[in-house]
């Protein structure tokens, strides 16, 4: 692989850009992450799997069998039609379990492009990550997070599940000590990634099990910041899924209490989500809007105390940059009726988000559509809502914001074709 690259006189960064140029949109992480994966592939630290494997073949114009030596695992059909792995691969209980779990996702997702991702996940479940060290696993976690943020976590479910199984096997043979704590942190973050994917799949029961596993692993690792982060992310998930504001606020408060005022991304997200809960209650008339505004000011104060690396990380939830601060201001202001502040803050958030954060940007534009509707600009607001993210799947967050837009329409405007189209779009998601 390295010889194929050097024959073209390319560096790894050039190769990363060549891959991006031919890949499907939003299927690859940022260039820096791709370069790290290429380095791992070329040094043999881990095997290239989809989407990288076919991209190597296309970029180099070399057949898979020649570039990789026909190293894909063999499969065969049983008499019952079930795919199993060749006996030479040592088909033990964990491998059969991995195959059963992953294959169960395929029919329910009904997304043909997912099959390659699923099989890549099975490959790893039977040992493709066997040579990965802790640094590799940290990069794997980051890749999962970026995939969730710029693509769709549901399409990555097979990969996440396989990695959870692999780390579970590592934990089984790792005694107490620093290494076990490190792998518990990895397991916790993988379980969180699965939680997000299951929420996207609207499987609330399985999502609860995933976040429970994430919390327990974080607690067992002894990493308090991570334990706070898991509870904050749970609160965020509950909020965007439309759970009652009182429940969301209660979970966020648990994270805040656990943090004991130690600044971290987890504490920032917990405080941010608490403002959502308070603002939602104020919007219903069950709480004072001033309480939500004070909570919003608390988030601004928290932002100033965050470590620099947290404020500078823009591509994953491990960071809490200015874009998140402005996003928070935009949504809380929208909920409590301060449309001018909301529109202005959404503009600032859009400018601060990296262009790859397409879902977050779409949410900000949906907030602006909400402010237009509430200010009486019905047609403009509906048109703005429909044009925010054409072609992008409707996420739970955008669905919730759109619900507020539809609820804010005057009775006579709810029969407008644009309103009906918006309702149909979000209902089908």
85 membership: H or E segment, kind and range? strand 83-85
Q: How far apart are CA 380 and CA 211, in angstroms?
A: 40
**What is the predicted pLDDT for the residue at 120?**
53
Q: What pLDDT is stored for residue 84 in this prediction?
A: 32
pLDDT of residue 131: 58
pLDDT score at 128: 54
Task: State the Cα–Cα distance between residues 252 and 317, nearest whole angstrom.
Answer: 16
| CA separation for the pair 405, 388 (Å, rounded) | 13
Q: What is the pLDDT along the chain (429 residues), one digit of tens a residue?
A: 888 888 888 888 889 888 887 887 667 777 777 888 888 888 877 778 778 888 999 888 888 888 887 544 333 333 333 333 333 344 455 555 555 555 454 444 433 344 444 455 555 555 555 557 888 888 889 888 888 887 767 778 888 888 898 899 899 999 999 999 999 999 999 999 999 989 888 888 899 999 999 999 999 999 999 999 999 999 999 999 999 999 999 999 999 999 999 999 999 999 999 999 999 999 888 889 999 999 999 999 999 999 999 999 988 889 999 999 999 999 999 999 999 999 999 999 999 999 889 899 999 999 999 999 999 999 999 999 999 877 788 888 999 999 999 999 999 999 999 999 999 887 755
Given this model, what pLDDT does residue 93 score? 55
Cα 221 from Cα 205, distance rounded (Å)? 25
> What's this model's pTM, rounded to 2 decimal places?
0.71
CA distance 225 to 8: 45
Alpha helix stretches (DSSP H) within 61-113 = 64-68, 93-109
The answer to whether 132 touches 141, Cβ cutoff 8 Å, is no
CA–CA gap between residue 47 and residue 128 (Å, rounded): 6
Taking CA atoms, 381 is separated from 178, 360, 369, in Å, by 54, 18, 5
Residues whose CB is less than 8 angstroms from the CB of residue 233 and which lie 6 or more positions away in sequence, other chains included: 192, 195, 196, 211, 214, 266, 269, 317
End-to-end CA distance of the chain: 41
Q: What is the pLDDT of residue 394?
A: 84
Tell me how far CA of residue 253 lies from CA of 55, 163, 246, 266, in angstroms.
Answer: 45, 31, 10, 12
> How confident is the model at residue 76, as a pLDDT?
34
CA distances for 36 relative to 9, 40, 75, angstroms:
19, 6, 30
């Amino acid at each position: 692989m390295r010889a194929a690259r050097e024959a073209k006189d390319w560096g790894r960064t050039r190769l990363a850009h060549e891959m991006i140029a031919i890949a499907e949109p939003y299927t690859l992480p940022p260039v820096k992450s791709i370069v790290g994966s290429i380095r791992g592939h070329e040094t043999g630290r881990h095997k290239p799997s989809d989407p990288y494997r076919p991209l190597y073949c296309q970029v180099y114009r070399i057949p898979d069998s020649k570039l990789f030596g026909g190293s894909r695992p063999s499969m065969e059909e049983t008499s019952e039609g079930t795919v199993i792995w060749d006996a030479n691969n040592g088909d033990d209980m964990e491998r059969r379990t991995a195959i059963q779990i992953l294959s169960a996702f395929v029919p329910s997702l009904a997304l043909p492009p997912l099959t390659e991702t699923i099989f890549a996940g099975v490959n790893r479940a039977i040992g493709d990550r066997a040579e990965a060290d802790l640094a590799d696993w940290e990069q794997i976690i980051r890749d999962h997070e970026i995939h969730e943020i710029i693509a769709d976590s549901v399409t990555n479910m097979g990969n996440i599940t396989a990695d959870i199984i692999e780390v579970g096997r590592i934990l089984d043979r790792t005694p107490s000590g620093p290494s076990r704590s490190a792998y518990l942190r990895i397991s916790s973050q993988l379980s969180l990634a699965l939680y997000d994917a299951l929420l996207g799949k609207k499987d609330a029961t399985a999502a609860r099990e995933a976040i429970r596993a994430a919390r327990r692993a974080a607690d067992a690792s002894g990493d308090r910041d991570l334990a706070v982060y898991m509870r904050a992310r749970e609160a965020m998930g509950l909020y965007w899924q439309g759970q009652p504001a009182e429940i969301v606020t209660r979970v966020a408060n648990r994270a805040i209490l656990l943090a004991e005022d130690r600044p971290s991304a987890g504490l920032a997200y917990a405080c941010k989500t608490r403002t959502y809960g308070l603002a939602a209650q104020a919007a219903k008339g069950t709480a004072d809007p001033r309480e939500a505004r004070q909570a919003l000011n608390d988030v601004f104060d928290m932002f100033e105390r965050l470590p620099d690396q947290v404020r500078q990380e823009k591509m994953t939830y491990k960071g809490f940059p200015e874009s998140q601060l402005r996003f928070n201001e935009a949504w809380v202001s929208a909920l409590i009726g301060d449309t001018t502040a909301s529109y202005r803050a959404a503009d600032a958030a859009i400018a601060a988000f990296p262009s790859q954060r397409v879902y977050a940007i779409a949410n900000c534009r949906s907030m602006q559509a909400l402010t237009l509707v509430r200010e009486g600009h019905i047609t403009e607001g509906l048109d703005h809502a429909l044009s925010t993210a054409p072609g992008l799947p409707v996420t739970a967050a955008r669905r919730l914001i759109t619900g507020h837009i539809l609820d804010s329409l005057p009775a006579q405007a709810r029969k407008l074709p644009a309103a009906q189209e918006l309702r149909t779009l979000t209902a089908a998601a």
